[in-house]
Amino acid sequence: MFKRLDPSDVDKTPFKVFKQFTITNEDSGSNVYNFRAISGSSEDRRNFNTNTAELTSYESASFYHLPSYFMINHRYYRQRGSGIRRLTTGPNAINPYNNFASNSPKQYRLLHQSASIISVPKDLYGERIKPKSVTLTDDSTSSTIKIVDDGEGNLYDTSLSQSFATFASGGFLDSDLIKSTASFAGNIFYEQGVLVITNTGSKFIDVGQKRGSDGYSLEYKAQVTLNEFSFFCVIGENEFNTSTNISTTFQKSGSINVSGSESFRFFPIGDAKFQSGSYKHFYQQARKYEPFVTHSEFRPYVTKIGLYNDFDELLAIGQLSAPIKNDKDLSLGFVVRFDAW
């Protein structure tokens, strides 16, 4: 027994879900890579040779420092105009058409001649890394450094959070670069899963690059959008008041042991028998039911609702917590909900 749903009976509501990740430099199988980016001299650029160039190697990948620098510069830091300021607004702003990632007016970008990069693979962050969920803890110096994001794509040292707040509230003015050197650590590009430590001060120079007891841990939340599908299924008066349960067939139990040719008993009630070595394409309705089925007050109970596509393929089953009697004089409404991508 089938009933077609009207499109108005189907609703899709997207919602975001988050998963917490903690990754350390010891997680070699995570495909989270940390490596250096160095601009090099003009001679290095002219005579770049993969046999002699500096690189960071892993079992599954290698990253040359010189090309890595120009990669992040091209993707995130190219600007129009001149000057040291690297905001996404103003006369020396980064041109959003020449850059990837979002261009928040509150993100400050400043790339020197070198940087440290931590790259997270997409299968570990989904659509993006959730803003204000990042904590990078590093032990490359004598004291532990804790770096967090501000939700706008900026990374800063938590021990100097007040200094960074002052720097940010003032619009990242060039006159406050001394403050930025102390507190501003770099950037995170949420949609690409890339952290760039651009501060080249002695405190930050090795952040995210060392191993073992001098290594790092990265905590963040991955973001994915799921959809809640709701299907409103209505049983009208006098609808679905018969049953295809095999237990309603005369002298047939609802529990059957199946073996070999007896598998036809799994089909709906009727004369399901072999013909020429194959099943029939249709089955006649059973001619004789159990006595209780023919009673005028017999009403089947609803226990499950199946959702099918146009090819009669079962896609989902809604299981009721308790059977509900299908009274012929009443309409029943059921909402089947499930989450999917």
Classify residue 259: in a domain, yes or no: yes
Written as one string, the DSSP assignment of 224-285 is EEEEEEEEEEEE-TT-S-S---GGGBTT--S-----GGGGGGGSPSS---EETTEE-S--PP
Same domain membership, residue 285 and residue 208: no
The model's pLDDT over 236-247, given as tens digits with 9 standing for 90+, comes to: 998 888 776 767
In angstroms, the first-to-last Cα distance of the chain is 29
Does the pLDDT value for residue 177 go beyond 80? no
pLDDT per residue over 302-337, tens digit each? 999 999 999 989 999 999 999 999 988 899 999 999
Note whether residue 10 is domain-resident.
no
CB 241 within 8 A of CB 331: no
- Mean pLDDT in residue range 144-156: 94
Tokens of 339: 């989450």
Q: What is the pLDDT of residue 132?
A: 96
Has residue 42 got a pLDDT over 60? yes
Q: Both 89 and 162 in a single domain?
A: yes
Judged against a pLDDT cut of 50, whether residue 58 lies above it is answered with yes
Number of domains in the chain: 2
Q: Which of 25-34, 229-238, 245-254 has the lowest mean pLDDT?
A: 245-254
Domain housing 315 = 228-340
When pLDDT is averaged across residues 266-282 and rounded to a whole number, the result is: 46
- What is the pLDDT, as a whole number, of residue 82? 38
Task: State which of 159, 191, 226 marks the end of a domain.
Answer: 226
- The last residue of one of the domains, among 209, 226, 243, is 226
Range in 7-16, 44-53, 114-123, 237-246 with the lowest mean pLDDT: 237-246
pLDDT the model gives residue 81:
37
| Top-confidence range, 80-84, 192-196, 297-301 | 192-196
On whether both 221 and 235 belong to a single domain, the answer is no
Give the pLDDT score at 295: 74
Q: How far apart are CA 3 and CA 14, in angstroms?
A: 26
Q: How confident is the model at residue 268 (pLDDT cuts 50, 70, 90)?
A: very low
pLDDT at 30: 84
Query: Six-digit token pair at 315?
Result: 């896609």
Residue 329 structure tokens: 């004089």
7 belongs to a structural domain: no
Evaluate whether residue 5 is within a structural domain: no
The domain boundary residue, chosen from 169, 196, 226: 226
Whether residues 221 and 234 share a domain: the answer is: no
- For the residues 227-251, what does the mean pLDDT come to? 84
Q: What is the per-residue pLDDT for 153? A: 92
What are the DSSP calls for 92-103, one per residue? T---GGG--S--
User: Does the pLDDT at position 279 exceed 50?
Assistant: no
**311-323: burial string, b at 16+ Cβ within 10 Å, e else:** eeeeeeebeeeee
Q: Given this model, what pLDDT does residue 277 score? A: 45
Q: What local confidence, expressed as pLDDT, does residue 106 receive?
A: 82
Query: Does the pLDDT at position 256 exceed 80?
Result: no
Is 8 a domain residue?
A: no
The predicted-structure confidence for 87-109, as pLDDT tens digits, reads as follows 555 555 556 556 777 777 788 88
For residues 208-217, average pLDDT: 82
pLDDT tens digits, one per residue of 113-147? 999 999 999 999 999 999 999 999 998 888 899 99
Together in a domain, 219 and 275: no
Q: Based on the domain organization, do 196 and 266 belong to the same domain?
A: no
- Which token pair is 260? 């070999």
pLDDT, residue 283, reads 46
Query: Are 159 and 60 found together in one domain?
Result: yes
Residues 221 and 255 occupy one common structural domain? no
43 and 187 share a domain?
yes
Q: Where are the beta strands (DSSP E) in the chain?
A: 10-24, 33-38, 55-57, 62-64, 114-119, 128-129, 135-138, 145-149, 154-157, 184-189, 194-197, 216-235, 274-275, 278-279, 301-308, 314-325, 332-340
Predicted local confidence at residue 51, as pLDDT? 92
DSSP 3-state of 25: coil
Q: Indicate if 261 and 221 belong to the same structural domain.
A: no
22 with 169, same domain: the answer is: yes
One domain, residues 138 and 284: no
Cβ atoms of 126 and 224 closer than 8 Å: yes
Tell me whether residue 132 is in a domain.
yes
